[in-house]
Structure 1
């Protein structure tokens, strides 16, 4: 199994039972935000 870093527009096929594209985009938004607030379900 290979691991690597990917840009938001270069995501490989995901194991959606673990993570999905929406969750990853949220992580990118949090990283780039100066005032990110934790979101709870």
Structure 2
């Protein structure tokens, strides 16, 4: 996971895409948890 991007090479661009979307997925997860908490507490 923490290895250099040069080790994978151009053969596996999916790894870089996953690394790019990882913060977005975290933000989406936090938003879902926030709205779920607001819904249950609301």
Give TM-score scaled by structure 1 length: 0.36
Point out the structure with the larger helix share: 2
